[in-house]
Amino acid sequence: MSETPGLRPLDPADLQGNRARYDALMDVVVNRITTREFDSSFDVPREHFELILEAARQAPSGANSQPWHYIIVTEQPVKEQIAEYFVGEQQRRIDLNMKFPTPNYSGLATAPGFIVVVTDFRFVRAFPVLRDEHSALVRSEVNDMYVQNAERILLQSVAASTMSAHLAATALGYNVWWVTAIGQEGAQKAMKPLLGIPDDLSVLDIMCFGPPKTKTYKRWKKSLGEIINWDQFQPEHHLSLDQVEEWIQTQRHKVMYRDAKNVD
């Protein structure tokens, strides 16, 4: 087996509570910032793609199934065709009156780093689900619940891997953009032929990265006190549905598109 880059025998005594190591990690975590338009003149060295996907490769996954594939898109016309699909999606949302503050997806075509994340939903079978004698998934109320949970396991697994890639790109000095909105049949049909993706695999998201076109800003994050609970869920953390709706009405657009200082 080939040696894993960076792997070294851990001596817990050396590392526990090592604040400098934590701070180095947080330097990357805190500076992972989304941008939606890049400096398109920048060339990402091939090695950087490999370093980024090496980080993705090391991620944890349910049953260690590693249900991910990454397609590095280097051809500008392909980036443009994918961007076009998203610009159309932007318009569809407006037409459907979703009132979602959809960003300008033409920025996709400006990304020097463009990686399509593909998953293999057949791996839900690697998780606890009932299958019949032909290995087909059983349709029943009980098993549907397990299948739903298996899908969650799969999605969390791919997200863990994708997040490692985003952090690696940040560590290399890039801004990133995590693009979803591609679960729909139409999106799959538009993208798979462009990239030679077999029918039984699914495009899950797109990772863009590169130097930003304009200065980026740090977005609002909840305070630690708002998300942390010790032993018991704190009732004051529980929002009513009305409060959730109010947040969507009054805050969502601000936290998506303004810097942290300018969100009341």
Ligand X SMILES: Cc1cc2nc3c(=O)[nH]c(=O)nc-3n(C[C@H](O)[C@H](O)[C@H](O)COP(=O)(O)O)c2cc1C
* In the complex, least distance from residue 36 CB atom to ligand X, rounded to whole angstroms: 6
Binder of ligand X out of 178, 211, 213, 258 (CB under 6 A): 178
Query: Judged by CB under 6 A, how many residues of this single chain contact ligand X?
Result: 10
Which secondary structure element, helix H or strand E, spans residue 177, and what is its range?
Answer: strand 175-179
191 counts as binding ligand X under rule CB under 6 A: no
CA distances from 254 to 1, 38, 263 (A): 49, 22, 6
* In the complex, least distance from residue 132 CB atom to ligand X, rounded to whole angstroms: 34
Binder of ligand X out of 181, 197, 201, 263 (CB under 6 A): 181
The residue sitting closest to ligand X, measured at its beta carbon, is 34
CA distances from 244 to 11, 86, 184, 237, 252 (A): 45, 27, 25, 12, 10
Binder of ligand X out of 52, 108, 154, 179 (CB under 6 A): 179
Helix axes 141-171, 19-30, angle to 10 degrees: 100
Query: Residues 118, 68: contact at Cβ < 8 Å?
Result: yes
Which secondary structure element, helix H or strand E, spans residue 263, and what is its range?
Answer: none
CB atoms under 10 Å from CB of 80, counted, come to 12
Cβ contacts of 15 within 8 Å, gap of 6 or more: 21
The CA distance from 228 to 235, in Å, is: 12
Candidates 61-69, 145-153, 175-183, 236-244: pick the segment binding ligand X (CB under 6 A): 175-183
Looking at beta carbons only, is 129 or 162 nearer to ligand X? 162
Candidates 17-25, 48-56, 64-72, 174-182: pick the segment binding ligand X (CB under 6 A): 174-182
Binder of ligand X out of 140, 180, 249, 262 (CB under 6 A): 180
* In the complex, least distance from residue 182 CB atom to ligand X, rounded to whole angstroms: 8
* In the complex, least distance from residue 219 CB atom to ligand X, rounded to whole angstroms: 4
Cβ contacts of 35 within 8 Å, gap of 6 or more: 175, 176, 177, 212, 213, 216
Site string for ligand X, 216-255 (x = CB under 6 A): ---x------------------------------------
Cβ contacts of 147 within 8 Å, gap of 6 or more: 124, 129, 137
* In the complex, least distance from residue 10 CB atom to ligand X, rounded to whole angstroms: 29
Reading the block at residue 86, the tokens are: 């998203």
155 counts as binding ligand X under rule CB under 6 A: no
- Looking only at residues 15 through 44 of this chain, which bind ligand X when binding is defined by CB under 6 A? 33-34, 36
CB atoms under 10 Å from CB of 139, counted, come to 10
Binder of ligand X out of 51, 58, 87, 103 (CB under 6 A): 103
70 counts as binding ligand X under rule CB under 6 A: no
> What is the contact surface with ligand X in residues (CB under 6 A)?
33-34, 36, 103, 178-181, 219, 256
